[in-house]
Structures are given as C-alpha cells and as structure tokens.
Structure 1
C-alpha cells in the first residue's frame, strides 16, 4: 500500500470513527465543524478542523493572572536588553495569583480555531513550495494552533508573517527558506533567560528578545509555520553521557518523511546533519607538549530522538514514566542516524523500558518496547550509549539486564562485576573533562609570573612562565637566576589575548629549616573584578577571580620590610569543580542490578584510592560534600573511561 493511500485512509478513519473523547470535543466545537461541512470547496478545511479537534484532548495551557500580567507588561515595555527588568516583571506578576494548566478546550474558542485554519491555509497557498507539501504534512507541521506547551496568547500567524515574510520573497527552495528564517530569528532572539517559568506565546517571546532553548524553538517553529514551511521541534530527552538536561532543536519535514535541519552555518537545510549541540567545537587544540593526562570530551551522545507533535502519535500505558507518558511524541531516532537495534530477553508481556544514566540522579527511561515471542526490541538507539533495561510493575522497578554499551550492531559490551577478580583503582575526577574547560586553560600558555621591588614593576623580573596548558592545581619552580633575590611585589600577568580566570594563586619562600612557607600580604589587581579578588587567595579552588580584560594582572604586596625570595608558585585555573577535592567525603558505587556501595572515604589530597573493586564493573563516584555533576565510568588500564 503506497504512502498516499495510507494517509487518506488514516484521515478517513479520523473523520468517520471518533473515540469517546473525540466525540465530546466534536460536540463542543460543533459550530466550527458546521462552518466547513456544508461546502464541498471547504472539504480540506473540514478535515483540518477535525484534525485539530480530534487531537486537542491532552493539550494544556499555563493560564492565570500572572501570565496575563507578564505578557501585557512585556508587550508594553517592548524589547529589552536588561534581564533585571524581566526578572522584576515576573516577580511582580507572580504575586497576582496562581498559574494553572488548563485544557485547551477551556481556552481555545471555535472562532480562534477558524482564524487559525484560514491563516494556515493562506500560508500554504502562498508558499512557493506549496506543490511539494501534502495535506497530511500540512496538518501535522503547519496547521496546529500551538507548537508545544506554550501559553495560548492569541493570534500569532499574521504578526510573525508580517515581520518575517519578506525574507522568503523570491525564494523557491523551501530548504533555503528554512535556513534564512532560522538565521534571522536566532539573531533577533538571544539565547538567554526570560525569567518566566512557563513557555510564552510566540509573539511575546519575540518581543522579549531573549529565550531559553525550548522557548526559542517554539518561536522559530511558529515563524516557519506562519510562512508555510512544515516545521517541528525534535529533541533528545537526555544525553547518554553528559549533563542531566536534554536538548531541543527545529527541523523541517519533507513530504516523504525525511527530516532536514540547519547545522551551524548551513545556508540550506540538509539531511543527516549532526544532532544539534552534540559537538563541542574546541577553541584550543591540545598539543602533545601539554601532556594532558585526561581524555577531553568533545562530543555528546544522544540515546534517542523524539518529535513533539500535535496529533496523538504515541500509545501511552498507565505505568509509562516521565516523558514516555506523553501521547504527543514520535520516535524519529533513525532520521538522525541512530540505527542500533537492541534485542533483550523478556520473561513476560510487561513493557520493557530502556534506561540511560541521568547525571546526578539515576537511570532514566528513554524508550519502551512491548515484548513479542519472548524478546523486547528497541530500534534506533544511539551508538555509544550505556543502557540498562527495566520493567515496572505495581509501582516497583525491576532491573532485567546488566548495563551494556550500545554498538553499531547491538550490544557491544556488558558490564558484569567479577565476583572474584578485584583490583585497586586510583581516580581524581567524578565527571569527564569537557573541551569548554580546556578552552579556558590552553590560552593561559605564555602567562608570566613577575616579581619586583617597585609597585609599578618597572624593574620586574620574570620568575616563571606557563609553557604548557595547566590543569588543576599546578606547581612551577621559579627561574633559577632569581634565587637569592628578594622581592616585595609579586603578580600573575595574563597573556595579551587572554583573560581566563584564576581560582588560586600562591607564592612560596623557603624557610630557615628548608620548609616551604606560604607568603601573605595585600592583594592588588588591574583588569579583574575587584570584588572577587579575594577568591584567588582563599585556598578554595571552588571560588575564582574573574578576568575582565585581556592581559590582566593580579598579585600580592608582601609589605614594607617583608621582601622575600621566591622558591615556587602554585596556581590553579578556574575549573568545573569535578576534580577530587581535599577534605570532601566521597563514595564509590558499582552497578549490577542496583547500585552497591564499595567504599567511603574523606579525600586527603587530589586523588582517591579504592581497593577490592570488582573487575568489569560499571562505577560511579559521588561527592557527598557537594556537587551533583557525576558520570558513570569503567576503569581500564589505569584510567577512567567515561560513559
């Protein structure tokens, strides 16, 4: 059966055999359906109205006086570059009452739907690419009056078409039009906080001029649909190896179902682009002479990709957890190159959930499979993800597989703790080191440490130079030719093109008994945030100074008659705080069917040692003294391998 016949049959079924909920909604919007039912020329509009009405159940809008107040105020003050004004406006609006999520049927009128239908059809008719858009494609990706879970704030199509319509005049390639519009919208709306905890309607979002990821996607999809471009939000609910947040982006869907996206500086939408935001683009390339002891993470792994739809495309069971409980998501993982199939034994007919580790939390479900013939099959899983499978019965979760790595052709490797073979491990981090951290460390190469007897450093000696990328707390011996000379003023001088921040700066002298003595004095700076100056000398790597200007200086005045020889310098660049920290309490766990505590210890330095760790185990290090960023890892050949 070809695709077109399938679509027509699906539409016919939707019109002819409504469910109980659909029948109720058809009764509520009887006047809308009647508007389009009497004229054969309106047959498509009638089917469009049925599509909207039959799929409305389950859609909710955040409603209440705070939403009304905030949107009214924002539209009054117009676009603002100051986030403090937005923060104040929401704080004041929140005092006016509660925000409740109401069903769309309590908010959306027949008149509103009719206006939306007319505007959507007009956009479709005017689009230069109209002939390439099927009616089913139109219904799913142009027609809906809402994009996701945003506030229903009134008409948006005409406003956005007026603002952006000129961009696509004379453009006949819909893929090029998509790229042009995305570039313009993302330049007009900065990726930032609008301080409203709910997604705003598209027009208000555009007026604010700043939005977080999901909100900006809503705006972009609304603009594209207003211009007759079939658009939708796709996203990964979580990365398989990074953070505890997912990510969303905007895609265009062709009539054959192919998914197109605009990646980085693309001038036209393309098939099989990298998943949006899945790569860190390193600004500093680590050099061999840096001798970096860590594998630096430059990519994130999506475990699944889902599409947010208006129509009910996901069959939901009462026990479905988290986002899998939404009827409005569609698995589109293969459209993004996620093609691994995972087959697992299933003892009964209970649904099996595929889980990935959510940083700082626990295993979280990302996919569901109904067993058939004793096997549960998950298709389109991200290669490189580490997963476990669970079932849920009577509110209790049961692990039904050991953790495993997803390979190109299925399960590549299983993590099974050896009951007899143990080893000793030495670890110094609880989270992978990402390139956005080393991007701030590498450019510190060339930074100098200077010493002088005059405050203006007119007679300064360079006593040490940062010649390789620093990582963590770093010790430098002073230049041999400065031995025996005494100095009052000591400072760090950042490279001329760098303002990376310091977390610690310590100067030492050698005491009479040969011991290292930490020097103290008055702090001074040029080109940094003076309010944070003390952070650099407080002995706490968790606090840092802030460089405001390239080539800044920060230093120590030992005081009159306190000049000293310098024997060594200890400094630390600001970090992600995921190194092992002295004095913190750590716990090491391994996983078989649940997390099992292997050891608990207070750190005496910048690394930890654990004995009797099962070989082959999947491990997790928790900092009980603070910090929630943590990732699962294996320990192989003396190294932490992060997942």
Structure 2
C-alpha cells in the first residue's frame, strides 16, 4: 500500500512539474499561444496524444529555423544545378561542389534570420506531426511511449525550416515497413539506396537544408547525412537519433553519426560506410546523444567499448558547485568537450577518451603523433575563459602526465612544421603546413596561458628557437597564411604532435 501511494505521489509530482514547464512555454509563445492551446484542446480526450503534445510544447523554447533572407538568391538557385556526377569527396581539391559554391561566395553575400518555433508554429502543423507519428508508431510497435517521445515524435532535428518531411520520407521508404526488419537493417537499406553522399563542398553552403532539398541534391555534410537518415527512420516509426563528437581530440572539427534503438533496448550505431558501418579515424574525447528535450546533455561515451579514464584536477580556493570545462585543442584554441562541477577541492571528469577507438575503428595516425590526448580544465570568468589547471596527457595505457614547463632550464629547438603530416612517411614532402620561407611565425609555450617567444620570418624550411622552456607544451603559429596548427612537445630533437 505504501509503495502504491508513493507511486501515485511521484506521478502527480512529475505531472505537476511538467505542467509548470508547459505554462512557461505558453507564456513564451506570446501571440502564438492560441495556436498551441488549440493543439492541447484538440487532444483533451486522448491522454496519450495529449502527453505527446505537452512534451513537444514544453521542450519547444529555444527551437528555431534559420531561414535565408533571400530565398531566391544564388545559393538557393545553385541547389537546382549541383552536379550529381561529382564524386564522394573528402578533399577540397577533388570537390566540384566546393568550387561552384565558393565562386558564389565571391559574388553574393548571404544572411539569414531566426524563426522561433514557439512563436510561429501552427496548430495544424503540430497536429499533423503528432497524427503521423502515432500512425507509424502503432504500425511498427518498436518502442515504449517514452522512447517514442524522444526518438520518433520530434518534428525537427537541427535548424532546418519546417516542412512536411514525414510524408515525403514515408512515400520514399515506406515499402521498408512491409516486412519485419531489424531497425539497423532498415537504416542500412536507406544508406545503401544512396540516400545521401558526403561531399566537403557542402560545407560552403550557408543554410540548413530541408529534407526535401536533401532528397533532391543527395549531397551533404556529416550533419546533413545524419539528419537525413534520422528523419527518414522516424518517418517509418523507427526510434533513431544522432550521436556526436563535439570536437576531435587530434584535429579540428566535430563529427556525428546515427544510432537506432533496437527492440532489446540497446542502441546500435549506423554510419554511411559500406553496409552502414560507422568509420571513425580520429581521436575521440567524448560522445553525446542528441535529444529534443531541453536541458538534456546525454553523455554516452561509456556506451562505446573503448579505453576510458576518470580524470581529476585539483582545485585550490574553489567553492563546491563551480562549473568547470574540460577542453581539448582545436586548430587555434581550446574548445570544451565536457562539463563538471567542483567538489571537495577538485573536479572530476568521468569516462574521457585516451586516444584509442572502439570495434574495428583505428586512428589514422599523423606522423610523429603522441599516443594519447592532451586535456586542460578551464572556467568562464567575467566573459573570459581561463585555465584552472595545467594541461595533462592521458596516455593510451591510462597513465596521466602533467605538463610542467621548467622556466629555469631552456633548450634549443629546430622546427619544421606547424601541423603534422598525415599518412605514411614520404621524403621531400612540401605542403602548406611546413615552415615556408618568407612566412612569419611565432612559437608559444604554455604557462597558465600561451606565452610568445617572439616573431620570426623563416628564411628556409625550418625555424630555430633558443631559450625554450624544457618540458613545455608548444604551439607554432603562422601569421602569414594557413589554418591548420597543432600543439606539440619536443622530444629527442623531434616534434611530437598531440
């Protein structure tokens, strides 16, 4: 009896809390409140659909589309003529799309405006979305109502303009529901049908693509491809979402792929490789799962079978509950990959990567690359990001080493590159990341911040620096050209890249 009363009390408390969030969302809707209330009134007699409507509305604040100010501009016109014969391209040099869109950027500026869902979405759109979602959910019967709300019901995935994508996707792939196939097999068949192909050139397209545009052009970035697949699957009643790496740990950029929830409750990753494989080749620090619900940062790093560590940073003079960021280095700066709060004089980040991957994935190594990942704990103070620790290396074997630049002991360095060479060793290689005659550089070392050792113009294919603190974390910056730059240590006369 006590357990029953406790359950009733808990459900009532949750319902009460949710309705507070609902009222907050309705207030934010302003003049559009009436449209949202129409949806709620429409489903008053259907408790399950009413809860679904509440879920969408309660979590709607902050959702918006980015819409071009000039919907008939050259970029939009270009979508109609992008060459389908272009090859899948990971390099700028090999991408026809890149050069087409890059040429437009020199002729026409672009801009967009934000269209907030809470202030503009119509009752008709929400009702249609809910009805179509329930129809395919009841047909497929693949998941619980809670999973339905999180992984089938949401009407958007990123910042794309809202369209009737469910009907478009079902017309194209609805035949896959005629037979009982595992969720991951449906995903693979959509991938194998050529649903989307990667082309680096689409990074030059400045606007979010609608589902209909993705269906038409078939080219996209990793985000576009993942969006296309998750929307296609949700339109079939298959619970799906996106897992993402916020920042690679040994280069710039981020990455994402799809996951589907199987009937046994487990998630399975699906990528756009052969047979739906998810090919990952760079170092991973953290992995998160995308949700429609507000205030959900779902860390799923430990779901992936790769070596992980818990990382402690001692904090002196910090109060409990202060927000701390864990960062890795991008091309030019430290970028946050995880968040935690201080407690008992330290901060702990759980399940951080060591630089090794899972399954059949292997890191495609740069030459002279270190075996591990460099991390730094930082905090936002008065609008500025400051380090609250010294950087550390978490090695592949789990050993943690703290950087300690010895300012009393100096050494001479000869540097040949600002960024590592990718792939197998080659002799007499010249690329844009080597030290180049006539370019101006500056070597920095880390001592609570980046400390410069003076600018130098290269007179050859190397730079010589005297009086560099031994044991320091280093960064060579080119003031003249280029974007790719990487932190390194100097060990036995060689640059070791991190």
Give TM-score scaled by structure 1 length. 0.64
In structure 2, the partner of 1:348 is: 319
Pick from 152, 166, 174: which aligns with 2:175? 166
Contact 2:273 2:279 in 1 (8 A): no
Q: Is it true that 1:396 corresponds to 2:367 in the alignment?
A: no
Q: Is it true that 1:99 corresponds to 2:112 in the alignment?
A: yes
Alpha-carbon separation, structure 2, partners of 1:201 and 1:630: 34
1:369, distance to aligned residue in structure 2 (A):
1.1
Q: Is it true that 1:46 corresponds to 2:28 in the alignment?
A: no
Change in Cα spacing, 1:116 to 1:576, as seen in structure 2 (3 Å) is farther
Contact 1:61 1:151 in 2 (8 A): yes
Q: Write the mapping of 1:125-274 to structure 2, written as runs, cut at 5 A.
A: 125-127=138-140, 130=141, 132-152=142-162, 154-186=163-195, 188-194=196-202, 196-242=205-251, 244-254=252-262, 258-263=266-271, 265=273, 267=275
Contact 1:176 1:267 in 2 (8 A): no
In structure 2, the partner of 1:457 is: none
Alpha-carbon separation, structure 1, partners of 2:12 and 2:260: 24
Gaps of 5+ in 2: 87-96, 355-371
Contact 1:258 1:335 in 2 (8 A): no
Change in Cα spacing, 1:252 to 1:603, as seen in structure 2 (3 Å) is same
Gaps of 5+ in 1: 270-275, 280-299, 315-328, 443-468, 473-574
Change in Cα spacing, 1:92 to 1:375, as seen in structure 2 (3 Å) is closer
Where 1:419 maps in the other structure, the secondary structure is strand
Contact 1:355 1:365 in 2 (8 A): yes
For 1:35-73, what per-residue CA distance to the aligned partner results, in whole angstroms no more than 9, with x for missing partners? Answer: 1112xxx32211111110110000011235524778986
In structure 2, the partner of 1:493 is: none
In structure 1, the partner of 2:432 is: 577
For 1:291-346, what per-residue CA distance to the aligned partner results, in whole angstroms no more than 9, with x for missing partners? Answer: xxxxxxxxx212222222211134xxxxxxxxxxxxxx432222234632112223
Alpha-carbon separation, structure 2, partners of 1:428 and 1:205: 43
Where 2:179 maps in the other structure, the secondary structure is coil
Pick from 99, 109, 113: which aligns with 2:122? 109
Which range is displaced more, 110-119 or 254-263?
254-263
Q: Write the mapping of 1:537-548 to structure 2, written as runs, cut at 5 A.
A: none
Q: Is it true that 1:21 corresponds to 2:28 in the alignment?
A: no
In structure 2, the partner of 1:334 is: 302
1:8, distance to aligned residue in structure 2 (A):
7.0
Alpha-carbon separation, structure 1, partners of 2:476 and 2:269: 37
In structure 1, the partner of 2:446 is: 591
1:143, distance to aligned residue in structure 2 (A):
0.6
Where 2:216 maps in the other structure, the secondary structure is helix
In structure 1, the partner of 2:365 is: none
Alpha-carbon separation, structure 1, partners of 2:128 and 2:35: 17
Change in Cα spacing, 1:88 to 1:341, as seen in structure 2 (3 Å) is closer
1:278, distance to aligned residue in structure 2 (A):
3.0
Change in Cα spacing, 1:622 to 1:46, as seen in structure 2 (3 Å) is same
For 1:277-299, what per-residue CA distance to the aligned partner results, in whole angstroms no more than 9, with x for missing partners? Answer: 531xxxxxxxxxxxxxxxxxxxx
1:33, distance to aligned residue in structure 2 (A):
1.0
Alpha-carbon separation, structure 1, partners of 2:101 and 2:254: 25
In structure 1, the partner of 2:60 is: 56
For 1:598-622, what per-residue CA distance to the aligned partner results, in whole angstroms no more than 9, with x for missing partners? Answer: 3433323222222222221101111
| Count of residue pairs brought into register by the alignment | 457
Contact 1:70 1:89 in 2 (8 A): no
Alpha-carbon separation, structure 2, partners of 1:6 and 1:613: 65
Change in Cα spacing, 1:167 to 1:75, as seen in structure 2 (3 Å) is farther
